[in-house]
Each structure stands twice: as C-alpha cells, then as structure tokens.
Structure 1
Amino acid sequence: MSQITEMRLGVTFPTFGPDAQPEGITKVSRTAEETGYDSLWTGDRVLAPVAPSTPYPGRGGVMPGVYENHLDPLVALTFAAAHTSRIRLGTSTLNGLWQPPVMLARSLTTLDLVSHGRLDVGLGLGWMPEEYRAVGVPWKGRGARLDETLDVLEGYWSGGSFAHDGPLFSVPETRVGLRPQQRPGPPVLLAAFTPRGFARIGRRLDGWLPGAMPLTDLVSMWSAIVKEAEKAERDPACLRMALRVNPELTDTRTDPEQVPRRGTLQQYVDYARAAAEKGVHELFVDFGQTPVTLDERIELAGRFLTGVRAG
C-alpha cells in the first residue's frame, strides 16, 4: 500500500458563512461520508470585531468575511454526527479555554458517546484578544490555563472518582459515571507553532494540528515534536499529524512558491500528494473560505478527493 492511500483525507463542513445552515451541514456531511472522506472538521469563532487588535494569521492579515456568521462547533458536530455513521468528527480548532474545563469535559464526553466514538478533539489558543475579553477569560497565561484544562480532562476521563485542586480551577471529589466511548478518552490534538507547544504535544497529547505551509518547514517542526516525545519517553509512533489546508483557488497555475498559500485545485492536489509522501497522517481541506456556492463546494471536494487518491 502506498503512502498516498494511507494518508487519511478530511473536509470541513459549513459552520461559517451563508451555508452554515442545517441543510448545508447535512448535505456536506452525508456527501463526504458517501464519497469516501475519512473525517469532517469544523472551527471555532465567537467574534468578528470591526477593528481587531491583532491581524488575522493569513490572507494578508484580513479575517475572512465568512467568520461573521458562526455556529457553535460542538452543537454543529453533534448535528453532523446524527446524520452520519462512519466518518470521524474533528475540531480545528476548538478554543478550549473559553469555558470551565469540567463543562468542556462533559460536552466532549457527551459528543464522543452520542457519535459512537468518532470524536477527535483539536484544541487551540486562538489569536484574537477580543474573543477572550468577550468570554471573560484572561488573555495572559493561556499556556498555563491550557495545561490545567488538560489535567481536568484527563481526570474526568480516568473513570471512578475524580478531584482537582489547581491554581485556576477546583473540582471537589466526585464520582463520574459518564464515560466516552473511546478510552481513556477521545484523542486530543493541539494547534501549536512554538517550542513550548511542541513540548506539550510530545509530552502529553495525541497529535499536532498544523496549518498548510511549505513541506520542508512542516517536516522540520514535526521532527521537533518527535524529539520532545522521545525526551518524555513516549513512542512517537503514537502521535499523528492532521494538516489543515485553506485553499485560495486561482484559475491559472501560480508560481510554485505561492503554494500552499494559493494555487489551482490541481496544485493543491499535488501538494496533498507530496504531503502524503512526506508522511503526513491526515490532511483536511476547507473550501468554505472560497467564494463558491454549496453545490460548487461539494463538487470541489469530490474533485479534490479523486485527484489525491488517483494513481
């Protein structure tokens, strides 16, 4: 079996923009499962400030207009789970710091249970201070807050009695009867691009959620994560990488140096196949940031899947 066929392929479903409606979720989710995609993904936004203090990390620093209309990611994933049966369900990324960790643990456990063990938890820290301000969570100290959140998730999923007493959160000893279908819990992946983030992945998490970048950079960062896992005496083979691609499609081929920032559909197909050859475990694509209709979005997803798996 070649690496091309081993790499899992995913696609986002509409939780942003004009197609973020029940009909859009149902149509994309069912079609993705029927055509052979391995996973469905969604993101997380709570604000679209008129004048954000920090530029958007991509697309010239301008946040896509589709983010002005955003559904709750976990509610949307639950709806998608009810209309599918096989395809995995992931968040890329869920901001895990915007709610108390014990509430997050209950929501994630419920979703894993009702989806029959299909959940992948992709966490991120976000990029916009205004969102933290809106939900009443400090922007400063995000890394420490994430570590304690992970502690609570692990405790909640450990089974039996559980208690937590930390600098930020306190959970009195309690019996937890709610258990996820995946044991000890759904896989947790992290979007990170700093040495501290790489160390966190290597030390305690299940994988990495990078955004599309030149593959030489991707391989270098992954090597850093592998080294961190080895330092923590963990088997790096237990980690996985799920690469997010947000295409900016063009009608004509762009200079190869512009890929994966922008290019034709075929150039993105070629990028995906090259990523598979470099050992990427999973790649998922978001056509929702491309100005197309829902039917065109589904058609692009079908052509992309066929192109990557051809040959």
Structure 2
Amino acid sequence: MKLGVIPLCEKAVTTDPVWVEQCVRLLEDSGVESVWMPEHVIMAEDYEPLYEYSDDGRAPVAPTTMMPDPLHWLTFAAAHSDSLCLGTGVLVGPQHSAAILAKRLATLDALSGGRLLTGIGIGWQKEEYQACGVPYAQRGRRLDEMLDAMRTLWRDDPATFSGEFTSFKQVYCDTKPSRPGGVPFLIGGSSEAAARRAGTRGDGYFPYTISPADLATRMETVSASAEACGRDPGTLSLTVWPHSYRPGGTFDLELVRDYAALGTDRLIVAAFESGEHDLDSLRRLVCDYQDRIIARL
C-alpha cells in the first residue's frame, strides 16, 4: 500500500521555501510515496451551489486557506527530492487551457524524471469558474475533451484535434512527458459521471468523501466503463483519503481495510490530521500511520 501526504496549507509555512524543503525531505526520508497539493484559484466567502460533501453545505476549509498554484509548488518540491512522487489533489481541469496545461504537465513530468501524478476533476465552486471566465455548466464536457486533447498533443507529432472547445491542426507540443504513455490522470470526484470518466479516460480513480459501500458501487461503474471501451480495469489505480469521509477516522483500521478490499492501492493523509502544525508532528503522524494502519493491511 502506498502512502501519500497533503502538507499543511497555511500562510506561515506553505510558501516558506525553507519549510517546504524540510517537509518534502522529511516525507521522502520517511518512506512516503507521494506529496499532494490541492487546487483552488480562488475561494468564495459565499457560494452557490453549496458544498455537496458536508451536511451544512460549507467547505471544510476557510476561504483564506493558503493554496498555492499546485504545479509551481510541486516543481519546487521536485527540486528538493529524488524519488517522491508529485500529486495534484486535484486540479480543476476545465478552468485550464488544454494546450497550456499539456505543456505545463509535460514539463514538470520531464524535469522530475516521471514523478508527476495528475489528479484532475471538475471542481464544485461556481464562483471559481466565474473568476476564471469559464462556463460552469460545461465543465464535464470540457474535462472529457481536454483529457483527449492533451493525450493527442503528447502522442502525435504533428497533432490534430477537433473538438467543441479545443481544436488544433498539424501542431507540435514539445516538451513531451517523461513516460511514453504520458502523465497519468487520476480522475477526481465521487459521482457516477466521475467513475465513468475514470474508466474510459483515466489511469486511476481518486474519489472524495465516499463511504466503502458507495465506493464499491462506483468501482463497478469504473470497471464496466473500462471494459466497454476495451480497457483493462485492473490497470487502473485507486487512491482514497479516509479522513475526507470520516473526519477523525484517520486511524480507523477497519474502515481502511474496507477501502483496501475494494482495490485501494494508495492512501492519503493530511498534515492537519495530526492536530499540530510542526514538522515533528507530521513525522509522528506518518510513522504512526505506517505502523498502525499500513503495516496491518
């Protein structure tokens, strides 16, 4: 079982270069497989529709939570680590240009030696889409198309693509990703549509705030969707963050075993789950999780 960690997202540390360097070295030295940075270009004080993953409709983070650009942050992390994988958890894909994002992902993957894991989804915040100048209602179609367009740019020289939102003819997009198949896409989201997208277009599935029972249903959709387009569902990874479903359940071994039984091959913990805000506490959290959870799966 692989272990990924979301670092602290706080003004005092998240963009402090000394702290970030120490954090990624700590994670790598502790045997952590990957570090993950979320994306929100902006966070609104009030939003509609409400946040669907909580009972009160409010997001679990304050609008003032520090969230640096994940690809820039991960580039810095790559420069201060040797083997640590670099995950976006997750990019709000439709807010990006397909061609520009393809170039940014490929560059980071090449410079890091093939360590990038691209978690990507449609997000949830209409105000964020408005700030980016992108229609909220089209987000699902935009993501499907941009995933196809990016793979085309990485695969073909010259590349031609004709879509509803993105089109290009006989173009070259260099640099290429380090890996021949391109940067892996881990499709974020807990909806039926996200599960279908993971099966048809993803290299993995990264649901959020999902119970084991609901995950079992979604994984049936992932498998059926993959098989329907001639893909092997056994090649797709599954990443789960247990705390997102049950806050305070970080060390709930039975819950994690339920996720593992469904094929989970990567677990995520967040630094704030330690209840403290220093690197020693993060080290203890990682070591405890490895000993009390991962070693017992």
TM-score normalised by length of structure 1: 0.86
Q: Secondary structure at the match of 1:190?
A: strand
CA distance in 2, matches of 1:111, 1:176: 14
Pairing 1:262–2:258 present: no
CA contact (8 A) 1:42 1:73 kept: yes
Q: 1:167 to 1:265 in 2, by over 3 A?
A: closer
Structure 2 match to 1:136 = 133
| Residue in structure 1 matched with residue 284 of structure 2 by the alignment | 299
- Specify whether residues 167 and 129 from structure 1 end up closer, same or farther in structure 2 by C-alpha distance, changes over 3 A only: same
State whether residues 44 and 127 of structure 2, in contact with CA within 8 Å, keep that contact through their aligned partners in structure 1.
yes
Q: Secondary structure at the match of 1:28?
A: helix
Give the structure 2 partner of residue 158 of structure 1: 155
- How far apart, in 1, do the equivalents of 2:2 and 2:177 lie? 23
Q: Which of 47, 54, 59 lines up with 1:52 in the alignment?
A: 47
Taking the aligned partners of 1:291 and 1:20, their CA distance within structure 2 comes to 17
Q: Distance in 2 between matches of 1:164 and 1:151?
A: 9
Amino acid corresponding to residue 61 of structure 1 in structure 2:
G
Partner of residue 13 from structure 1, selected from 7, 22, 26: 7
Shift in Å at residue 24 of structure 1?
A: 3.1
Contact 2:187 2:198 in 1 (8 A): yes
Stretches of structure 2 that go unaligned for 5 or more consecutive residues are none
Q: Which residue of 2 aligns with 1:43?
A: 38
Correspondence 1:61 to 2:65: no
| Equivalent-residue separation in structure 2 for 1:278 and 1:203 (angstroms) | 19
Aligned CA distance change for structure 1 residues 204 and 310 (closer, same or farther; 3 Å): closer
- Aligned twin of 1:223: 220
Q: Give distance in 1, aligned partners of 2:151 and 2:213.
A: 34
SS at match of 2:177: coil
3-state DSSP class of the match of 1:303? helix
Counterparts of 1:299 and 1:66 in 2: how far apart (Å)? 28
Tell which deviates more after alignment, 90-99 or 168-177. 168-177
| CA distance in structure 2 between the partners assigned to 1:127 and 1:220 by the alignment | 22
What's the counterpart of residue 256 of structure 1?
A: none
Offset at 1:206?
0.9
Unaligned ranges ≥5, structure 1: 1-6, 248-259
Distance 1:130 1:66, change over 3 A: closer
Q: Which digits, 9 at most, give the CA deviation of each residue in 1:62-90, with x for residues without a partner?
A: 22127532200000011111111112111
Counterpart pick for 1:193 among 186, 190, 194: 190
For residues 273 and 185 of structure 1, the distance between their equivalents in structure 2, rounded to whole angstroms, comes to 32
Q: Partner of 1:255 in structure 2?
A: none
Offset from partner CA, 1:232-275 (integer Å, 9 cap, x none): 2211111111112346xxxxxxxxxxxx42335432x4433442
Structure 1 residue 94: deviation in Å? 0.5
TM-score by length of 2: 0.90
Does the 8 Å CA contact 2:147/2:201 hold for their aligned counterparts? Answer: no
Q: Deviation of residue 102 (structure 1)?
A: 0.3
Taking a change above 3 Å as real, the CA distance of residues 197 and 278 of structure 1, as seen in their structure-2 partners, is closer
After superposition, where does 1:102-251 map in structure 2 within 5 Å?
A: 102-246=99-243
Q: CA RMSD of the aligned region, Å?
A: 2.1
Give distance in 2, aligned partners of 1:271 and 1:25: 31
Of the structure 1 ranges 7-16 and 235-244, higher mean CA displacement relative to structure 2 is found in: 7-16
Q: 1: CA distance between counterparts of 2:19 and 2:2?
A: 23
Instruction: Give the number of equivalent residue pairs.
Output: 292
Structure 2: distance between partners of 1:245 and 1:214? 9
Give the letter for the 2:221 counterpart. A
